[in-house]
Amino acid sequence: MKKILISDQVNEKSVSLLQSAGLEVTYNTTLSREELVKAIPEYNALIVRSATQVDAELISHMVNMEVIGRAGTGVDNIDVKAASRKGILVMNTPGGNTISTAEHTFAMILALCRNIPQAGKSLSEGRWDRKKYSGTELRGKTLAVLGLGKIGKEVARRAKAFGMDVIGFDPLLSSGTANELGIEILSLDQIWPRADIITVHVPLNDSTKNLLAKITFEKCKKGVKVINCARGGIVNESDIVEAIESGIVSGAAFDVYVKEPPDFSNSIFNHPKIICTPHLGASTEEAQELVAIQIAEQIKEFFLDSKITAAVNISGFAESLDKESLSYLNLCETLGVFTSQLLNDQIKSIDLTLTGKTLHKYSTEFSTAFQKGFLSGRVSQIVTYVNAVLLFDDLKIPVNIKKSEDSNVYKNLVTVEVNTEKGKRIFSATLFGLDEIRIVQIDNYKVELNPAGYMLLYTNVDKPGMLASVGSVLAEANINIAGLSLGRIEKGENALTIINTDSRIPDSIIQLVKSINGVYEVFQVSI
């Protein structure tokens, strides 16, 4: 039974969902760092929000961990690279807090334009400052949305309802979608002098850190307002205070900070023209319930159905593949497992040739699947889609992806050429029907092998009685034959025989097969 630890506070419906699926759940939000480090080796999954710091040191203690789930969008508190190298999948719930965050962003826009917090505070202090807190309308103003993912789009929709002109920046947004939303897509340099209000909805990375800073503010329209409900660090906290004091920026609103909890000596917290909230973007009952249930569903499906959803350390992977492509993904992994067990010589490089246009679209995914299968059982650690390529890189074995058009025989064909110190080995596979894997070439031999269960492979002299001799050895050992595939190059020369068996063949029986006159190389393979 898979064991799941939930170390941050989540909606308890997620706990019930996991338990009802037959998974063992520990819900403990009071663990100290030392207690967490001590407990973590026994768990297969970890669910967190933002409180638990899943850093490289904690990840180093994860012995059985397969997946880390973040109930929310950001994974700033998770060392994704360390998890990837360890072979651990990292999932989040990118859509769960979309509406909540978009609504909070718009609340900040309204509060900033109408001075609501400041005016409310003045009343509580016994003052009637109507003139001091006069605001501005949204109608007719230009809102710049930087980052038009799910949240950015929802903010844009609400802005249009208020009669605002919306401009935006997002290299990944299609012109068709932009037109549907009524958004004018511009470059950043075109946005700065036009925007009355700027709101950011981009991830925090090297290219977006300090996206709005001194050099940016100097290009902006005088009196611009800035909102950051995305990630701390996208807007430079020191520079914006300076920009407000100089009159370039008329006000700002922050829900996120470089450091959380922040240093309250930071001047943004007592500035009269800056509104601050304590990271409330996703803090609604509806959003918290939704993200908790979403991550629980994702982890349940991962363990029960091998389904990968919203993984941040593999690029869309299985969730983006159609049914046929998923079958070829399985084929490539199976071919990797099969090939690996037939190689004893030092490997110099591997060439993976994908024949047929159907295979070209997901060539990277198919290569990763092959590498995962190839290393499974050859290295001591768990191999996953996440760390397979990294492990190959560590081994300094180059895997070259090649693409070819349709072959003469098969519409789609996966061929692996393994270059070893003793020469080249060739293996090819295709699908029969929708999902039946068949290995159709091993070196120079044409075969039709169903790679499933236990298989005995051996080369032998092509003469009568060879199959009977091997069959007799297996029969005496009570090993039942489930299938048979034969291949030869020329009559009377060498042949390749592959026998599918219902059970594993003991080493002692393998030795008896090897001792038969006319039998050469013998391998037992299992899938």
Q: Annotated catalytic, 279?
A: yes
DSSP state of 360: H
Residue 223: partners with Cβ closer than 8 Å, 6 or more residues away = 196, 247, 248, 249, 250
Q: Annotated catalytic, 271?
A: no
C-alpha 271/C-alpha 269 separation (Å) is: 6
> 170-193 b/e with 16+ CB inside 10 Å = b?
beebeeeebeebebebeeeeebbe
Distance linking the first and last C-alpha atoms of the chain: 23
C-alpha 103/C-alpha 109 separation (Å) is: 10
- Which residue among the candidates 245, 260, 286, 493 is catalytic per the annotation? 260
Residue 371: partners with Cβ closer than 8 Å, 6 or more residues away = 336, 388, 389, 391, 392, 399
Q: Which pair of structure tokens corresponds to residue 24? A: 């063992």
CA distances from 228 to 93, 252, 277, 287, 524 (A): 20, 8, 11, 19, 60
Is 524 within 8 Å of 504 (Cβ atoms)?
A: yes
Q: Which pair of structure tokens corresponds to residue 446? A: 């044409």
- Which residue among the candidates 85, 104, 158, 279 is catalytic per the annotation? 279
Is 487 within 8 Å of 447 (Cβ atoms)?
A: yes
Is 43 within 8 Å of 88 (Cβ atoms)?
A: no
- CA 332 to chain centroid, in Å, comes to 19
Residue 53: partners with Cβ closer than 8 Å, 6 or more residues away = 77
Q: Annotated catalytic, 260?
A: yes
- Which residue among the candidates 85, 104, 231, 425 is catalytic per the annotation? 231
C-alpha 355/C-alpha 95 separation (Å) is: 37
By annotation, the residues acting in catalysis are 231, 260, 279
